[in-house]
Amino acid sequence: MSCFSAMSAPLLGEMEQTIGMLERGTIVTKLYGKQRRPDRRHLMLIRETRQVIWATVATQTPRTDYEGAIQLREIREIRVGKHSKEFRLFADDCQRFESSKCFVILHGSHFKLKSFSVVALSEIEADNWVRGLQYMVKDTLGAPYTLQIDRWLRREYYQIENVNSHSAKATEQSPAQVTIKDFKLFLAGVSCKMTTGKFMEHFTEDVRRKHDLKFDDFSRLYQKLLLPNGFASNLSGSGSSGANFPYSEDQQVVRPAELKQFLESEQRDVSACEISNAAIASFIRDFVQDVERDVQEPYLTFSEFVDFLFSKQNDLWNSKYDSVFMDMNLPLSSYWIASSHNTYLTGDQFSSESSCEAYARALRMGCRCIELDCWNGPDNLPYIFHGHTMTSKIKFMDVIKTIKDHAFTTSEYPVILSIEQNCSLEQQRNMAQALIEVFGDTLLSQPCDRNEQHLPSPYQLRRKIILKHKKLPQFDDISNGISGTGSLGHRSSLGGAGGGENDGENVRKVFKEGLLYFKDPVDKSWNLYQFVLTHQELIYSSEINETRNGNSEDDDFGLSSSCSLNSNMQQKQKDASANDELHFGENWFHGKLEGGRKEADDLLKQYKHFGDGTFLVRESATFVGDYSLSFWRRNRPNHCRIKLKHENGSIKYYLVENFVFDSLYSLIVYYRKNMLRSSEFSIILKEPVPQPKKHEDQEWFHPNTTKEQAEQGLYRLDIGSFLVRPSVQSINAFVISFTINRKIKHCRIMQEGRLYGIDTMNFESLVSLINYYTRNPLYRNVKLSHPVSQELLRQALAESAQGDHTGHDDNGASNYMGSNLEEYVTCKALYSYKANKPDELSFPKHAIITNVQRDNSMWWIGDYGGMIKKHLPANYVKVIDSATEDYNSLNEDGTDGRTDSIEIFGAVASLFESNDPGIIFKLQIQTPTMQNPFVIGFDNQETAYEWIKAIQEAALIASQLATERRKKERTARVAKEMSDLIIYFRSVPFREHSWIFQEMSSFPETKAEKQFLQQNTQLFLSYHRNQISRVYPKGQRLDSSNFNPMPFWNIGSQMIALNYQTGDRAMQFNQAKFRNNGQCGYILKPAFMKSESFQPNNPLCDGFGGVKVTIRLIAARHLFRGGKSNNPQIVVEIVGASYDTGVKYRTKVNENGFNPVWNESCEFNVRNPQFAILRFEVQDEDMFAETHFIAQACYPLTCVRQGYRSVILRNKFSEELELSSLLINIKIANATSP
């Protein structure tokens, strides 16, 4: 139960108060199914029986007259909010309920869980219920065996009492009692058979006379009957009744030393010898849970010792395999992957219900590959259901949201969505958009490594969603004939998550590039932008090359031979003097001091109070390329040259000959810990000289100015006016406040060590940073051109204060927003959106939406295309400018400029003269998806003509590419947007050669059986070493039954897709196999499967390590079948390699299902234990000698413990049965060679 194991238990006192409140009960609103409306109920926790019960509010005795109950041991999940079928059924009624007051309990022992949906009176009560139940469920599942029996008996006793109570009320008899007759009927229900005479012998004369059984009598008699007579001899392995149990001296109790000896000798517990007697004693006290026996030397009675043997604490399963221990760094093809078929179904394939809960259930069971059958649905988004059948339909969007919520609850390793595509191209495009929107960064949209030669590992893909789907064939480049093209190093447009194409898709042909004018959508001014034209889009960026920032009259637009969108950043990195050396950011490194040695002397004298050893390192003024160490010693400065020499192509640093260091940093670190010795002195370097704060003397530095003062003072000043002030949010940060078109911007500068940084650029001082941005644009071509002194700021503030009384000039829009003003932003559409309601806004991709009002909801309000104040989905747009934007925000490429693009497909370009100052021609571009044209400005006629010709040619190429794309989309029936998201699991028909590791093939079981196991075994063994295949049930399995997965696992197929909703043998094997390795859903295939000599049906292959298994089937408990008396027998079988598979033993039929004893043995060899699953099945033989399923248990043979062990029995859905178990003695030894 992973959903509870991760809990951190609160303080006992606080939790005890919460549990007490739950026991008293609260009034809640319970939601029912379709036939009944929500109603108020009294909800209570019964701690004694570990149940949650509910009763009508009018009931005076809710503990007995309750309407329904849930066992805590059957609770699988507790959800906060309205996430259940009942809440969806009454969606309108439930709108008045706050989500924080609602919770859902999912419970049951089948695949399809039941939901219990309630609304508490307050958020606090709901929180108490959720926390309290989570704590109680965890406590219930981890309780000792003795407590589990006690709680089960109490539940049965109270149930009998309640039945008798109702009967007594109906007949107006005396208060209800539990009688001897009731006890006999109870025993019959648990398959305990005995004659009446023998039954009465167990009661005292007093009990027989009163005819009334209290709980203590009820419990004591049951415990007495549970242990068969002479059971000690069965444990010892002797058939004689007088044999003694060797680990109990008096045959009555087992003491700590005897228990320790038993663990070492019989259980082969290698850690038992290291366990102290005190630890053994503590274990006994915890198991017994008896205050009166909480003594220094506790003991187990023989009956309690047998209880321990039957308990889960003595499970055959080795708990060390409950955590991930396998190597998770190998390619995905090296693992078996837990996979589901028709994951959405809860039953058969013809008329059962499709449910989002089926996805949640499968994912929480550890499934890592789930299937989505997609068919055209309403709202241009698919339905998921089994096509051409009567199964119900669920929405694609609901499914992927459910997957997002539950994908990584049980395992952090990747989830694969196997999409069976039956949708139109339009709906596929919307699917792709929805997947990006819901999964975000979790969706894998690009390869882990561009140069990879094999599939990535599960570890590399942790917490990733991967799509399995068809992928379009790669496009041919039909634009090769265009001359004058260059290569763009990387795509700079605002691409979404789709990045799955090969490098040829991301490296676009550059038809033309240059600096052009673009009218800013926010401030309406013409600014220079870098433009790049490719065969698919026109990319434009406010980041321009620093060499182009001079007078535009000297610029030769459009004729740059090697300009790219990242050139400016490269230039910035050079000018910022970025240095990767470790010493460069250290406080003790002062770089090149302008005053040289004299300035170093002055700094040391200034900080001489630090004492001897105060030091700094600087670039040598005498020896270029070397460094100097300057330090204070005996009241005067001292200077040493740090020398450099080259060894084997690398630079070494040293002060003392033959004692060299790989870096200047390591040299200083060494001498700050060790003595620096020379013939003249010895010293340890101690405190470094602080960096000089030269910025404090600059007129633009304002040590005490606030953000509000900066905004009010700068508001009326010229563009480029600026000041620098300390940040109030961080002691190691400064802020540049500057003007841009009557707005104020704030850019944060972070100080790390001696360096000052903006984004990825670092400077040695604040002065050098400011000097750089006086020569280069800081934001949208604005340079820091007018420093504002403190005196000038005071004057501006005075004028601003006077303006507040006389009124502002309405022509300017101040960026300082009062608290009573609403925030407006401008947004750019990331996707197109079509309005579904009259108050919604329709817009194409890349649309500029203005006057956008934001709030905390998913819907904003904005203007576009003549539509005013209409609602738009917030996740379809991104903010490109905010009037109250505080600190600089970065785009996806990490730069501080704006980079956007428009699609060139269908573009119509027209050129006309302009009347705007400085702009001679305007080039207008209109595309089918744009409501308003895109306009570029030119101050040169020749350049304008070149660009319109290039755009027309690019539009033609784009049209040809689009035609080719549509043709390929129609042929493959795959939308490009969907194709772009497919990185690894590319679905293709199987071919016998030329395998590509990103591709995989799927096979129905019949074809897989023929190809894998009969005709091409050797080929598929080779295929599965590097490629992935998926095998799924044949279409004729309308009942959702499963095929045997074992032969396909054995040949290396990774994804054996089974119907998780069906509790059959195949799913039981699947659950057992993937219980290993922490139930993470990935099992590493054995190393011998990589060998060319491996043959799955050859028992003589190397590396198997065969074993001999000896099992003694001693006894069992609680083998019930529907409350009927039964005649159980045990079947032991191995399922694995073909030569190992088969029934190994079948016990005799025992006429006792309560506590049968067999004491029968079997022995068999398993030649390939790595493949083997050990299965126990309990069958009931009826009067016609026909057998019926009671319970089962499956274990990978490599995951079992030896000795006397309890086999915890499960139902057909692999859910544990309460108190039902076998007791066996198992030994596993290396087998001798045949």
Q: Is-contact 512 533, C-beta < 8 A? A: yes
- Out of 42, 83, 107, 386, the active site residue is 386
CA dihedral 485, 488, 494, 499 (to 10 degrees): 110
Q: Given 341, 469, 590, 702, which residue is catalytic?
A: 341
**Measuring CA to CA, which residue among 466, 470, 468 is closest to residue 442?**
466
Q: DSSP character for 548?
A: G
Residues whose CB is less than 8 angstroms from the CB of residue 692 and which lie 6 or more positions away in sequence, other chains included: 590, 603
Cβ of 831: how many Cβ atoms within 10 Å? Answer: 18
Adjacent-strand bridge partners of 986: 469, 999
Angular region, 781: left φ>0, alpha ψ -120 to 50, beta rest:
left
**How many CB atoms are located within 10 Å of the residue 150 CB?**
18
Q: Are 1026 and 1037 in contact (CB under 8 A)?
A: no
Report residue 1120: phi and psi, to 5°: -100, 150
CA separation for the pair 1010, 1001 (Å, rounded): 15
Ordered alpha helix ranges (H), 729-856? 766-775, 790-806
Q: What beta strand segments (E) does 731-834 contain? A: 733-740, 743-752, 755-758, 761-763, 786-787, 824-829
Closest to 232 measured CA to CA, from 865, 1220, 1087, 1159:
1159
Q: Rounded to an integer, what distance in angstroms lies between the CA atom of residue 752 and that of residue 770?
A: 17
Question: Would you say 396 and 1111 are in contact if contact means Cβ atoms under 8 Å apart?
Answer: no
Q: 102 - beta bridge partners?
A: 119
Residue 366: name the closest of 415, 438, 315 by CA: 415
| 871 classed as catalytic | no
Q: Please state, in angstroms and rounded to a whole number, the distance separating the CA atoms of residues 1019 and 1027.
A: 12
Distance in angstroms (rounded) separating the CA atoms of residues 683 and 673:
10
Give the CA count within 13 Å in the CB-facing half-sphere of 23.
12
CA pseudo-torsion sign 1192, 1195, 1197, 1200: negative
User: Which residues, 6 or more positions from 838, have their beta carbon under 8 angstroms from its beta carbon?
Assistant: none
Q: How far apart are CA 50 and CA 64, in angstroms?
A: 15
Place of tokens 């785009």: 891
Tokens 């001091």 found at:
593
| Torsion angle of the four alpha carbons 260, 264, 265, 270, in this order, in degrees rounded to the nearest 10 | 170
The question of whether 695 is a catalytic residue gets the answer: no
Report whether 681 contacts 769 (CB < 8 A).
no
- SS3 label, residue 934: strand
What is the pairing mode between strands 986-987 and 999-1004? parallel
Element (H, E) at 656: strand 650-656
CA distance 1002 to 1034: 12
Residue 340 phi, psi dihedral angles, 5° rounding: -120, 150
What spatial distance separates the first Cα and last Cα of the chain, rounded to whole Å? Answer: 43
What gap in Å lies between CA 996 and CA 987, rounded to an integer? 11
Task: Name the one residue in this structure whose structure tokens are 């609901």.
Answer: 398
Mapping DSSP to helix (H, G, I), strand (E, B) and coil, where does residue 31 land? strand
Residues in the chain: 1234
Tokens of 172: 């107006």
Q: Which two tokens stand for residue 214?
A: 């209290």
CA dist., res. 1099 & res. 1139, Å (int): 7
| Measured distance CA(1128)–CA(1181) in Å, rounded | 6
Q: Which positions are annotated as active-site residues?
A: 341, 386
